[in-house]
Amino acid sequence: MNALFQQVRRTIRRHGLCPPGTRLLIALSGGSDSVALTLILRELAPNGGFSLAGLAHVNHRLRPTADRDEQFCRALADRFELPIVVSHLDVAAYAATERLGTEEAARRARYAFLHRCAADLNADRIATGHTRDDQAETFLLKLIRGAGLTGLGGIYPRRGALIRPLLDVSRADLREYLKARGESWMDDETNSDLTNPRNRIRHRVIPELDASYGGVVSASIARAAGLARDDGTWLYSLADRRYGELASTDAAGVTFSADELSAEPEPVRRRILLKALREVANMREVALEHVEAAADILNGTSAGADLPAARLELQRGKLVLLRKR
């Protein structure tokens, strides 16, 4: 299991996940990934310059086995003499108040809890058990949902205080490690429900890709996700800077010099337009066709366009994106 520890150490070092003195909160569901995460970080802490502040477990009581999982996590915390905080939020009520679907409400409630929990336990980073398999699944999910524009980067090794030390290791290796140590974990029975897109990707698509390739594809996919993430991060930062230099903003909307915008390279121009449309239309989801509508005006193929929340026009050498009331 030396290779497993080495890989986790490399991921931590490469992305600066645990600067010296870091106090870590671990998100523990009781599944194989987060149980392995707890064990591995416990082993790496003494020489890694970080310490464990405690464990956080979410029990939304949405699944029949939720209470069994909570008991398992409490027992693990006892054995390792770590504090554990458990959330019993009523997701249905939260979803109703916030006007969200159950899945999105559960996700937001979970992250809000983790951040509160980290503050309470005086932890500065929160580790989650996302693996290379989750990375490959997320990449494919984004791919089929057409997220090409906002990036196929998948899961980030770090997003603010959240860190994913297992992002370069496979679930199979983690389970082998747990078995070799005689450790158990809780299976989430909802993971076999094939009406859930992620489960279908995991249990049907990836095995078929493995068969096409004649090997394990999650490593290749995770690598592609990492490269796409690096490209995207830089291109967006470049577009942000150029947006600041090129855009004039007022109450009516955003204006660019058509010549200046046309002179930008396509990947940068596309991201400047994306940012402008999000600004003007206050749209969370700007689609590729909206960006292309703006590009068509710029290159003279179209005279103007009416989008759901914005009107685009060319006015005396200016591309104007007008906010609709």
Check binding of 171 to its own copies (CB under 8 A).
no
Print the binding letters for residues 64-93 with its own copies: x by CB under 8 A, - otherwise: ------------------------------
Considering only 1-9, 20-28, 138-146, 311-319, which stretch makes contact with its own copies by CB under 8 A?
A: 138-146
Considering only 17-25, 171-179, 203-211, 243-251, which stretch makes contact with its own copies by CB under 8 A?
A: 203-211
On whether the CB atoms of residues 25 and 115 are closer than 8 A, the answer is: no
In DSSP terms, 313 is beta-bridged to 304, 320
Check binding of 17 to its own copies (CB under 8 A).
no
Give min distance, CB of 234 to its own copies, in A.
5
Q: CB-based contacts of 252: which residues, under 8 Å, 6+ apart?
A: 322, 323
Give min distance, CB of 219 to its own copies, in A.
8
On whether the CB atoms of residues 118 and 90 are closer than 8 A, the answer is: no
Query: Left, alpha or beta for 169 (phi > 0: left; psi -120 to 50: alpha)?
Result: beta
Check binding of 153 to its own copies (CB under 8 A).
no
Query: 53: closest CA among 25, 85, 90?
Result: 25
Check binding of 240 to its own copies (CB under 8 A).
no
On whether the CB atoms of residues 86 and 57 are closer than 8 A, the answer is: yes
DSSP tag of 256: E
Give min distance, CB of 10 to its own copies, in A.
10
| Alpha carbon distance 155, 137 (integer Å) | 10
Residue of 74, 175, 200, 318 interacting with its own copies (CB under 8 A): 200
- Residue nearer to its own copies on the CB measure, 197 or 304: 197
| Alpha carbon distance 77, 64 (integer Å) | 22
Give min distance, CB of 137 to its own copies, in A.
10
Beta pairing, strands 158-159 & 162-163 = antiparallel
Considering only 106-114, 176-184, 205-213, 308-316, which stretch makes contact with its own copies by CB under 8 A?
A: 205-213
- Residue nearer to its own copies on the CB measure, 108 or 223: 223
Print the binding letters for residues 26-65 with its own copies: x by CB under 8 A, - otherwise: ----------------------------------------
How many Cβ atoms are within 10 Å of 16's Cβ, its own excluded? Answer: 11
Amino acid at 164: R
Check binding of 234 to its own copies (CB under 8 A).
yes
Considering only 15-23, 56-64, 137-145, 307-315, which stretch makes contact with its own copies by CB under 8 A?
A: 137-145
On whether the CB atoms of residues 239 and 275 are closer than 8 A, the answer is: yes
Check binding of 321 to its own copies (CB under 8 A).
no
DSSP tag of 321: E
Give min distance, CB of 205 to its own copies, in A.
5
- Residue nearer to its own copies on the CB measure, 187 or 230: 230
Q: CB-based contacts of 285: which residues, under 8 Å, 6+ apart?
A: none
| Alpha carbon distance 158, 165 (integer Å) | 9
Residue ranges binding its own copies (CB under 8 A): 140-141, 143-149, 152, 197, 200-201, 204-205, 208-209, 211-214, 217, 219-221, 223-228, 230-232, 234-235, 265-268, 270, 288
